[in-house]
Amino acid sequence: MTPELKSEIDDIIDEFDLLGDWEERYRYLIELGKALPDMSDDERIDDNKVKGCVSQVWLVAEHDSSAPRRLMFRAQSDAHIVRGLAALLIRLYSGRTSDDILAVDARQVIREIGLAEHLSPQRSNGLNSMIGRIQAEAEAASAH
């Protein structure tokens, strides 16, 4: 894991540590989700839909041409908290190499910021589906 990525994870943990209770953390998560740019109708297609989420979630992965190649992610959801979780994952993973993406345990970060125990089983499943999709994109990119 690069020092830059470690620093970003530490920043996320510190931001959530400043918040009092889990309700404040949820509100902050929702605000993160509101900051995600909208996706066009052309991007809200079945191929971009994350399977395994109760909410509708679309995830687009793009590869840049740098060396080493980095993956850029964009996401959107029709549910506020899921959209916030997607925003958090994008912050963790977007602009990273496949190796960095595969080195990050987003579930551990979610536990460390105090959200894991407050996610419903459906949201936890959706989170796992988003993480799985991002990791699959990274594995496919590293195979090329």
User: Which residues carry out catalysis?
Assistant: 53
Give the number of other CB atoms < 10 A from CB of residue 91: 16
Q: Which of 140, 134, 64 is nearest to 92 (CA)?
A: 134
Q: Which helix or strand (DSSP H or E) is residue 80 part of?
A: helix 80-93
Distance between CA atoms of residues 141 and 99, nearest Å: 10
Q: Which of 112, 55, 54 is nearest to 88 (CA)?
A: 112
